[in-house]
Structure 1
Amino acid sequence: MESRSNNPTFEQRDGSDSFSAIQRSRSSAPITTGAPQSGLLLDAFDAKLLRDNSETAVSRLEDHLADLSVRGLDLIDPAALSQAARALMTTEHESIAPFDEKRLNAIIDLYIRTGIQVHSPGYMGRQFSGVVPLGGVIDFVSAVVNQPSSFYEAAQLPNVAERIMADELNRFIGWDPGSFAMVTTSGGSLANLTALLAARNKMFPDFWSDGSPAPAGRARPAIAVGADAHYSVSRAAGIMGIGEGQIVRLPINRDHQICMDRARPTLDEAERRGLKVFCLVASAGTTSVGAFDPIDELGDLAREKNIWLHVDGAHGASLLVSDKLRRKLEGIEKVDSLAWDAHKLMFVPAPCTLLFYRNKKDSLAAFRQEASYVFTEDPDIYTELDSGDKNFECTKRPMIMALWALWAVYGRALFAEKIEYLCELTEEIHRVLVEETDFETAHRPEANILCFRYRPNGVGDKDVHRFQLAITDRIKRQGNFFISKVNIDGTAALRVVVMNHRITTEHFRMLLDEIRRVGRDLLRSGE
């Protein structure tokens, strides 16, 4: 990187102090614009308000994080919440309203109280997590300095941080340094879509300019997915103009993984039907049960059939940073692309997704456009770090900053230790369930997701599905715990996602007791 000055503050240019002098002059000069600015406008942007407003928020957030009580979701009627929110809005419409600290306090309190309590031991329902506090602080800095990060000139450190984190995390993937690429996207769904576009354009290089190839005499583009793949893959296919008839669903085994014995025959049959599978999407931690597809074997199959292998590792890719758990992703070095959500098991603010490509050139395949107002005609050492040509977003938050700052301050072990605890705890609560005669487990957990059913006497096979749905709804409404549900083999199951290191087996036993109470009430009432 070229140095912009002879000292790290970059204050002097060309050996003079003219830049500093200009800054001093500007700071003391009065505003001389043609239109006068109201005092309230200037007050709203006053830097001194930053500390006052921040201290108000931090005080309430500190109390929120320190609250270790078991609580779920305080589900409020939308009409009542809308009324409460409207009551906090100023009635001044003709001029700028003066700042009201009480109004701000009430807004923050309402915001905190009405969300999912991700830091509570009662939260076991979704895959997004409570953040490491420092990650929230860095995200706050990002919001204030407001540096869109698709282009180096607008966000220099975030673009450098992306390169650094790409290199750091590639140590666990295993590609040759300098041969791969990584770009951040706002969520795993967008990462999956971007990877599928790159795969399609590589296999069908004229698709971007000419559109879908004519069916006559030509194979139709198709995507192969595990039967338990995330819905974003099918959604991405639809966006790309690939219909349901061009999605090849690979059968899964009893462990909810792509079945290798049936994968090859299914692909062969798709080819006989006139489909050209250009991408096979595997999962590293399915959303439903947290299953890991056999990446190593799928890598060999994809290479043999000249198919791009994309791994949706939104949930489970983070296991790579753990020496104990990375074997779950054995063969990851064989894949062509990998989606990795840091806002799940890397505990940073959402969204923060990392999209890796094994071949650096492939990262340029998703989008093929020219736009003189952003894309440079004369690349240099600065524009080399631009990612605007590799991702869908032009204005993109510098989402990498929270992850990089945590990695820089705490190192890998912070993430590895928490992930290992969560997975070990999930194994332990599975053992607890096995010993409970009125519960049944739906699978053996591979990571930190566990699905099970409450099956007391009196609940027949035809009633199991509705019974689990009713339990989930009642648990949510009571507000002590927050769990989710999923259909497994067509029948609903209760689903817990262990994301909080403050959860213990005792908390899980408390959940089971509440499920029993709720279930008995439902049976007594005949619901």
Structure 2
Amino acid sequence: MQLFRENAETVLGRLEKHLADHSIRGLELTDPAHLTKAARALMKAEGEGPAPFDEDRLAAIVDLYVRTGIQVHSPGYMGRQFSGVVPLSGVVDFVSSVVNQPSSFYEAAQLPSVAERIMAEELNRFIGFDPERFGMITTSGGSLANLTALLAARNRAFPGYWSRGGSAVRGPEAPAIAVGADAHYSVSRAAGVMGIGEDRIVRLPLDEHYRIDTARVRPVLEEAERQGLNVFCLVASAGTTPTGAFDALDELAVIARERNLWLHVDGAHGASLLVSDELRHKLRGVDQVDSLAWDAHKMMFVPGPCTLLFYRDGAMARGAFRQTASYVFDEQPDIYTALDSGDKNFECTKRPMIMTLWVLWAIYGKSLFADKIDYLCRLTREVHGILEKQPDFETLHEPDANILCFRYRPEGVREEEIHELQVNIRNRVKSEGRFFISKVDVDKVAALRVVMMNHQVTTEHVQMLLGEIRKAGQAR
């Protein structure tokens, strides 16, 4: 126990120093060979028996770990969709690691299993599914949640597919999935994993706001049908990765009902807006969808991964995987096995990821999340306004949430040079090590992209970033 305390105190001191550092830091990439050498230098030489605890060695390892990662708590971090965490959630994650309670089965993780049900009920108040029918499971990441939902959709449409594979599909019609053109790559990856194939992805056109153009969905689906594609699922987005766009869920739900399609929403990034009174309308119609993926490790500010997969009809969750295994699935259901989720998710050994979210919700309530989300989305709108007034910048869309894409376009730059200029700017800004931003192709031309995930960021920091961008752009 003394050794445990010494370990914890050493790490705690390093993390306190890290969290107290509010300097502007981006990403400093280290040559992998140099980092490997540094890491090996911290390893104890082989000897007989375990080496005694070395506090200095542990402190150096933690320092190296912290220093070489993306600085998610720094005002210079504006580049990705994973967030700096509320520190308490990290403490809870530490507890989970020590007590080690895999949470797919109630007997192994009693409180996490109950907390999962509680959070399902709490968050469903904002979704609006029938409280007597809906279901929710947790899973490791939005990609796995999307795959799981698509499996449930496919197995509903083609009941024999799980046991007999593609031979279960009779006739010339091939199973297909319809998605927005900006859907996350995990959806097409899922199509490959499921044996449907990327060639059977029906890409739905976008409107000028980079949302699925609902006026053109029906003709595209009709054309797919004429080509022998049997579309069984439509995937919409609540916060696309490139631009943060929110598809019109209420309008897509009407189309899905007309054609008996499963409507899945990849809300990995944007579903968290449901807890905001100010922004909830972005997901109007979410109560009419069949399934919803929601990453808490994005806009709910907990460690990754922590993903929630909701079903409007909880019975459909059992359709994703159809298996028996006497060593885990009980023959005689009871009040305890009723909280098992192993038959509904891909993972058998699964981290009790819900605990990081539930503890924050239990102690601070909804307002903690809503206030942070409202601030970050408001900040992004303010940044859009700042850029609109800059003659050498071009904004590409009005932000739906906390993602904004723009380009640096000074006078004298030819159109054919714009793409390479943005790529070079992003790389130079990153190499400078003060700010970390990302880039994405919008309309096949590179754009700079900021994602506001850190409430330490202010418009003052953004003005500093624009100065760095101008400096990088003029160095070409």
Report TM bin, short chain.
over 0.9
Structure 1 residues 31-180: aligned runs within 5 Å:
47-180=1-134
Q: Distance in 2 between matches of 1:215 and 1:179?
A: 29
Q: Distance in 2 between matches of 1:101 and 1:319?
A: 43
**Does the 8 Å CA contact 1:160/1:385 hold for their aligned counterparts?**
yes
Please name the residue that 2:423 is paired with: 469
Determine which of 195, 206, 211 is the counterpart of 1:252: 206
Please name the residue that 1:319 is paired with: 273
Deviations 1:107-140, CA, capped at 9 Å, x for gaps: 0000011000000000000000000011001000
- Residue 332, structure 1, aligned to residue 332, structure 2: no
**Does the 8 Å CA contact 2:161/2:169 hold for their aligned counterparts?**
no
Q: Distance in 2 between matches of 1:120 and 1:313?
A: 26
Q: Distance in 1 between matches of 2:171 and 2:346?
A: 32
- Residue 284, structure 1, aligned to residue 238, structure 2: yes
Q: Distance in 1 between matches of 2:47 and 2:150?
A: 47
Deviations 1:356-408, CA, capped at 9 Å, x for gaps: 00001100000000100001100000011000000000000000001000000
Q: SS where residue 225 of structure 2 aligns?
A: helix
Q: SS where residue 167 of structure 2 aligns?
A: coil
Q: Distance in 1 between matches of 2:155 and 2:195?
A: 13
1:295 deviates by 0.3
Q: SS where residue 211 of structure 1 aligns?
A: helix
Moved over 4 A (4+): none
Residue 429 of structure 1 aligns with an amino acid whose one-letter code is V
Q: Distance in 1 between matches of 2:47 and 2:134?
A: 53
Please name the residue that 2:351 is paired with: 397
Please name the residue that 1:420 is paired with: 374
Name the count of aligned residue pairs: 476
1:51 deviates by 1.5
**Does the 8 Å CA contact 1:180/1:359 hold for their aligned counterparts?**
yes
Q: Distance in 1 between matches of 2:465 and 2:330?
A: 57
Deviations 1:38-93, CA, capped at 9 Å, x for gaps: xxxxxxxxx22222111111111111111111110121111101110010011124
Q: Distance in 2 between matches of 1:191 and 1:94?
A: 46
Q: Distance in 1 between matches of 2:466 and 2:196?
A: 44
Determine which of 236, 241, 266 is the counterpart of 2:190: 236
Deviations 1:185-212, CA, capped at 9 Å, x for gaps: 0000000000000000000000011111
Q: Distance in 1 between matches of 2:47 and 2:315?
A: 53
Distance 1:140 1:214, change over 3 A: closer
Determine which of 194, 206, 224 is the counterpart of 2:148: 194
Q: SS where residue 254 of structure 1 aligns?
A: coil
Q: SS where residue 136 of structure 2 aligns?
A: strand
Residue 342 of structure 1 aligns with an amino acid whose one-letter code is A
Q: Distance in 1 between matches of 2:120 and 2:169?
A: 40
Q: Distance in 1 between matches of 2:127 and 2:334?
A: 29
Cα RMSD of the aligned pairs, angstroms, is 0.9
Q: TM-score, normalised by structure 1?
A: 0.89
Please name the residue that 1:505 is paired with: 459
Please name the residue that 1:431 is paired with: 385
Q: SS where residue 397 of structure 2 aligns?
A: coil
**Does the 8 Å CA contact 2:189/2:198 hold for their aligned counterparts?**
no
- Residue 496, structure 1, aligned to residue 439, structure 2: no
1:214 deviates by 6.5
**Does the 8 Å CA contact 2:146/2:293 hold for their aligned counterparts?**
yes
Q: Distance in 1 between matches of 2:282 and 2:438?
A: 24
Q: SS where residue 69 of structure 1 aligns?
A: coil
- Higher normalized contact order (CA 8 Å, seq sep 6+, divided by chain length): 2
1:458 deviates by 2.3
Q: Distance in 1 between matches of 2:105 and 2:368?
A: 30
The sequence identity of aligned pairs, in percent, is 70
1:100 deviates by 1.0
Q: Distance in 1 between matches of 2:48 and 2:158?
A: 57
**Does the 8 Å CA contact 1:221/1:277 hold for their aligned counterparts?**
yes
Please name the residue that 1:519 is paired with: 473
Q: Distance in 2 between matches of 1:519 and 1:55?
A: 45
Deviations 1:318-343, CA, capped at 9 Å, x for gaps: 00000000000000000000000000
Deviations 1:452-485, CA, capped at 9 Å, x for gaps: 0011122111011111001111111110000000
Q: TM-score, normalised by structure 2?
A: 0.99
Please name the residue that 2:216 is paired with: 262
1:502 deviates by 1.1
Distance 1:434 1:212, change over 3 A: same
**Does the 8 Å CA contact 2:158/2:169 hold for their aligned counterparts?**
no
Q: Distance in 2 between matches of 1:152 and 1:512?
A: 51
1:353 deviates by 0.2
Q: Which runs of 5+ in 2 are unaligned?
A: none
- Residue 308, structure 1, aligned to residue 276, structure 2: no
**Does the 8 Å CA contact 1:451/1:495 hold for their aligned counterparts?**
yes
Q: Distance in 1 between matches of 2:172 and 2:155?
A: 16
Q: SS where residue 193 of structure 1 aligns?
A: helix
Q: Which runs of 5+ in 1 are unaligned?
A: 1-46, 523-527
Residue 51 of structure 1 aligns with an amino acid whose one-letter code is R
Q: Which has the greater radius of gyration?
A: 1
Q: Distance in 2 between matches of 1:214 and 1:339?
A: 28
- Residue 358, structure 1, aligned to residue 312, structure 2: yes
Please name the residue that 2:248 is paired with: 294
Q: Distance in 1 between matches of 2:46 and 2:33?
A: 23
Q: Distance in 1 between matches of 2:135 and 2:2?
A: 41
Deviations 1:171-229, CA, capped at 9 Å, x for gaps: 00011112110000000000000000000000000001111136772411100000000
Residue 110 of structure 1 aligns with an amino acid whose one-letter code is L
Q: Distance in 1 between matches of 2:376 and 2:3?
A: 40
**Does the 8 Å CA contact 1:213/1:220 hold for their aligned counterparts?**
no
Q: Distance in 2 between matches of 1:340 and 1:310?
A: 11
**Does the 8 Å CA contact 2:160/2:168 hold for their aligned counterparts?**
no
